[in-house]
């Protein structure tokens, strides 16, 4: 891995940047970044869930729900905060601003202009906290943990394309950590990010909504995870963003589900805490998108919860 002062990397020759020379981050516990919903609102429509919900979220209720999530998360992990920025109402969904592993942060290059203002503050925060920065050119959109997720061991990357993130940057993103990558094609506009329909879980499990993917992608998932480790969600569960979960060891934090999914997860050894995140569903996101993992993923999958 090379360190350089270049502020941008091209698809051919990537480079990591740390001009500040802050010591690299070190985590003993799973650690997540959150951004308070101080400026959260729906001011524009960039996904089907936002349509009809312009200015509908209650900021007070959103704050209460976000705090509940944050308190619950703090019982099993450390939580850091990045200040919310006025004019970036979606910044609360901080999970899409980057993807992080081994102290290297691949910073997003948002597809929509409305979210591009989030890139500078996250880049600065990560750099100030010692992360090496991996950039992606503007021409190839990349939306952080919204569209790229590591397997439980942190050795393989699942990367989506079809709506937001561009397929052409998958290899470039995986090069940040020199890991293998599988591209998955999203085909249902309601599940415009991978984190809405696919969740690698501890213990080698995966939870996913098969219909959100094309046939080749379903096959790729099904050949990587044996049938006994696959937890398929129904459409009803998928539209409640049941795949958008925070998983630490055997604990799962998720939005409320009205079906038997919690029991199915319990049968696989997971203990589920449900938190009503209704105000964030209006913006098209849920538990997972409200956090950005900063520590290595193996800390989450090995910690006994």
Helix boundaries (H) for 11-156: 59-74, 113-116, 119-128, 144-147
> How many angstroms separate the CA atoms of 187 and 166, rounded?
14
What are the residues facing 253 on neighbouring strands? 246, 273
Smallest distance from ligand ARG to CB 42, Å: 7
Contact 199, 244 (CB under 8 A): yes
Q: Is 165 in the site for ligand ARG (CB under 6 A)?
A: no
d(CA 297, CA 213): 24
Binds ligand ARG by CB under 6 A, chosen from 9, 17, 47, 65: 47
What is the rounded CA–CA span in Å between residue 162 and residue 156?
Answer: 20
Query: Which residue in this structure is represented by tokens 């939870």?
Result: 207
Residue closer to ligand ARG, measured from CB, 132 or 148: 148
Q: Which of 136, 201, 283, 291 binds ligand ARG (CB under 6 A)?
A: 283
Q: Which of 193, 250, 282, 293 binds ligand ARG (CB under 6 A)?
A: 193
Of the candidate spans 22-30, 131-139, 177-185, 278-286, the one that interacts with ligand ARG by CB under 6 A turns out to be 278-286
Q: Is 244 a residue that touches ligand ARG (CB under 6 A)? A: yes
What's the min distance (Å) between Cβ of 196 and ligand ARG?
A: 5
With beta carbons less than 8 A apart as the criterion, state whether 17 and 280 touch: no
Q: What is the Cα–Cα distance from 9 to 109, expressed in whole angstroms?
A: 12
Q: How far is the CB of 263 from ligand ARG (least distance, A)?
A: 24
Nearer to ligand ARG, 53 or 232 (CB): 53
CB 70 within 8 A of CB 37: no
Q: Is 279 in the site for ligand ARG (CB under 6 A)?
A: no
Q: Does 118 bind ligand ARG (CB under 6 A)?
A: no
Does 93 interact with ligand ARG (rule: CB under 6 A)? yes
The site for ligand ARG (CB under 6 A) is made up of: 46-47, 50, 90, 93, 96, 115, 146, 193, 195-196, 244, 283-286, 289
């Amino acid at each position: 891995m090379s360190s350089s002062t270049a502020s941008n990397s091209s698809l051919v020759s990537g480079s990591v940047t740390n001009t500040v020379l802050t010591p690299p981050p070190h985590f003993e516990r799973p650690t997540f970044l959150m951004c308070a919903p101080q400026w959260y609102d729906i001011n524009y429509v960039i996904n089907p869930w936002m349509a009809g919900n312009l200015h509908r979220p209650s900021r007070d209720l959103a704050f209460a729900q976000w705090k509940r999530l944050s308190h619950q998360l703090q019982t099993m992990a450390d939580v850091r905060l990045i200040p919310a920025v006025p004019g970036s109402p979606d910044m609360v969904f901080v999970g899409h601003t980057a993807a992080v592993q081994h102290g290297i942060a691949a910073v997003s290059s948002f597809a929509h202009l409305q979210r591009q203002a989030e890139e500078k503050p996250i880049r600065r925060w990560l750099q100030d906290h010692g992360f090496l920065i991996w950039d992606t050119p503007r021409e190839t959109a990349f939306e952080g943990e919204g569209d790229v997720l590591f397997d439980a061991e942190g050795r393989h990357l699942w990367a989506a394309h079809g709506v937001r993130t561009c397929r052409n940057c998958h290899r470039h993103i995986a090069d940040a950590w020199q890991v293998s990558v599988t591209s998955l094609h999203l085909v249902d506009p309601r599940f415009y990010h991978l984190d809405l329909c696919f969740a690698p879980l501890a213990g080698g499990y995966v939870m996913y909504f098969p219909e959100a993917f094309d046939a080749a992608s379903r096959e790729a998932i099904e050949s990587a995870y044996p049938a006994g480790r696959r937890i398929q969600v129904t459409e009803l569960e998928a539209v409640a963003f049941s795949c958008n979960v925070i998983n630490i060891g055997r604990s799962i934090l998720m939005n409320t589900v009205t079906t038997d999914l919690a029991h199915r997860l319990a049968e696989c050894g997971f203990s589920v805490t449900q938190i009503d995140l209704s105000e964030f569903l209006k913006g098209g996101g849920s538990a997972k998108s409200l956090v950005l993992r900063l520590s290595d993923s193996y800390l989450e999958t090995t910690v006994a919860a």
